[in-house]
Structure 1
């Protein structure tokens, strides 16, 4: 029997994308010596799935003024980006013809920004005796024993710490093995794989499942690869993202109307405010944007029945109206529509056999087949950890160390991010942040959400000794 030697840290962060990196930044800034270990299989920290993009056309879907990683300085990205451009970085920014605060930076450049903030925090941490080590591996198991969290990696390393944090980010359906029929990903081209798309016939018939922001990225990827053929998008509700604009400020009507509680009441008032805005010649996005800061409160206060109502009846419209497309990407989308190359079908995806899809169009009962040359799965994010076929989610749930969150979205946790086990007891050792808390706060993926969570969780971890 092999005797595995455990290594020790003060905090183990599972995941080194944006969530894990921002937590490390907050911990390193504290005047206290700590050994922080970040387990991340990718070669670089700070990028994760979202910010590993290399194509300049894959941009943030929010402008620089909305995407600061510093919860205490909303202008942090704008300031960094100004200096980056002044030093010769991203010369293509001139094409957007906008002030820096209104630019939509490429996601790869945003990854550089996150990495620089981590490097600065590491330098500061050294003054306090703190370090943040990147261990390049994947976590396959987590156990709690003797007041410690025992983290096992796919290379057989074992790390132990008083506290561990799940900062696993998102599980994109296009890159995640999920327990679902159809074998969709076996035949699908990755939405962000421009290199593979360059090998395709430029006139190939492309079928895309899903019409959210991943679909928008797929269209950008195809354009970058030189594709000029027909694109057919299949979406259950036949909706796709509105373009993000820069509307003026609008009064925070939800603070003034604190009695609004049900999804029905909220939707009625939002529509009313949008009508008022349009009557005044103001963009309808202005009042909708004021809802954003109240989502966590409204979601956490809602009953399970109300949450189900929201997900079933409101979610598609919330996603298309709130999670908007960056203007450069939307321009490509609209160009393809105007040329008659891109069409959208409101239909349910039933199965796939190679690049042939079986669908059922809305309002029809008889399934039909769509034949294409290329298939792309842009069905978004898999938030149900029970469906993610990876070792860590399987083991956490099997051991009873975690349980699915509300409506099976992410994991269940308390207000401080401590995971609740299968008996509903909050852990003193295991925590989560970012996308795994989708079910707790609904919006738990945006940069500003993750940054604020990182700051709160760092204070919790340091206060739990």
Structure 2
């Protein structure tokens, strides 16, 4: 185990320091505030509002959740919580556009900005509950750039020069969107690309110019929405390694949980064969193939955690692209826009891998791509370039002060297959020497390597509840 430096004197110590105040940090804070007992919480988050983070700071109504209201409750004990909240908002005239979707409230796909307001309101309610017991929540509006873990406390260095200390700390850093995250080494793609959600920047593009998009997942769908809102009417060329794109999320009827009925299905190959059989059976009965697929979701943490490293690598290499396009599906509005652009001949999605970004011969940008089945790379030019490659899960590649500091101090190590960071099943961080921390924890997207699916609202809500219970027990003494 690496040596720990002696802790400095501490005059003002929090009980829990939450690093990151997006959805993960806000849900954890809410769970802690609602638990019995008196405690002081610090949340360090550079954004002005807690609960929004990267995903729910969107300001355009066109950028919606990719799950309907019935799937997106922040209360793990009440799956209808968001549905009820939305009904109240609609009744109060706060979301008149909801009528355009023409479906019951539980099936609505709300704007991400509205969902951020919902998360913030639930946190405010928890603050009022906590205040009755003497608990407090302080939002420190800056960024943690370094961290030290001692036998009896954790000390964080803030970007503004201050230091804060707590008995326990949680890495609730959320997602590192590839389009907004500087990466270790040269990142010419982001240097040349427009932010997928920056509608104002897209208004500066020639409306008839060709836009090049790298990546064809849900961020690409967001990009199409942004371009539409910006008034772009020209061609859009999308490039990704497999040339797949998200299916539309529909509302299929219930289907028997075939994995629960047959626990012998364990390996990725067995799962795929059984799932294909179930989907063919559904189609033969006139039922949407998404019905059997949706039963798999609850079993993913178990299947992933019990898989061998070899099986995990096989899944990531051979199955992941199809899992992403079939499971991480597009909201109906985005899917309809994508299909309309394809039918109009304005949108083309190609199987090609990016080799490099090159200077354009004139105004605009150039990229060199290797199309599938071709040995030589081809140069393609456009009026603008967008990085829609999704989320960066490998913390070694994230050129942000805190991830780099944690790696240099050997306080963390990469998770399985370099996805996120390594933790024990209860969220305690495992350091570079394999020691399980009693002071430092993590939740949300950093746990990708442990559970595979660790970004959905329901995943994060359940993790917040479990971690809050662990944190409110007396911390173990360090060996």
Which TM bucket (shorter chain)? over 0.9
- For 1:261 and 1:4, the matched residues in 2 are separated by 51
Residue pair 1:7, 1:158 contacting (<8 A) in 2 also: no
Pick from 374, 377, 389 the counterpart of residue 384 of structure 2: 374
- For 2:297 and 2:441, the matched residues in 1 are separated by 25
Mapping of residues 251-270 of structure 1, within 5 Å: 251-270=256-275
What's the CA shift for 1:169? 0.2
- 2:442 maps to which residue? 432
Mapping of residues 417-456 of structure 1, within 5 Å: 417-456=427-466
Pick from 297, 300, 309 the counterpart of residue 304 of structure 1: 309
2:208 aligned with 1:198, yes or no? no
Mapping of residues 37-116 of structure 1, within 5 Å: 37-116=42-121
- For 1:304 and 1:398, the matched residues in 2 are separated by 25
What's the CA shift for 1:7? 3.9
- For 1:30 and 1:434, the matched residues in 2 are separated by 20
What's the CA shift for 1:335? 1.0
- For 2:342 and 2:332, the matched residues in 1 are separated by 15
Mapping of residues 52-451 of structure 1, within 5 Å: 52-181=57-186, 183-354=188-359, 355-451=365-461
- For 1:324 and 1:81, the matched residues in 2 are separated by 22
- 2:467 maps to which residue? 457
Pick from 20, 35, 38 the counterpart of residue 40 of structure 2: 35
- 2:3 maps to which residue? none
- For 2:180 and 2:332, the matched residues in 1 are separated by 26
Residue pair 1:347, 1:362 contacting (<8 A) in 2 also: yes
- For 2:319 and 2:33, the matched residues in 1 are separated by 40
What's the CA shift for 1:441? 0.1
Residue pair 2:10, 2:165 contacting (<8 A) in 1 also: no
Aligned residues: 463
Residue pair 2:205, 2:383 contacting (<8 A) in 1 also: no
What's the CA shift for 1:276? 0.5
What's the CA shift for 1:464? 3.3
Residue pair 1:383, 1:409 contacting (<8 A) in 2 also: yes
| TM-score, length basis structure 2 | 0.95
> What secondary structure is seen at the aligned counterpart in 1 of 2:200?
helix
- 2:362 maps to which residue? none
> What secondary structure is seen at the aligned counterpart in 2 of 1:9?
strand
- For 2:187 and 2:160, the matched residues in 1 are separated by 32
- For 1:361 and 1:401, the matched residues in 2 are separated by 41
- For 2:276 and 2:185, the matched residues in 1 are separated by 37
> What secondary structure is seen at the aligned counterpart in 2 of 1:10?
strand
| TM-score, length basis structure 1 | 0.98
What's the CA shift for 1:198? 1.4
**Residues 167-209 of structure 1, C-alpha deviation per residue, up to 9 Å, x if partnerless?**
0000011000012545111110000000111122111110000
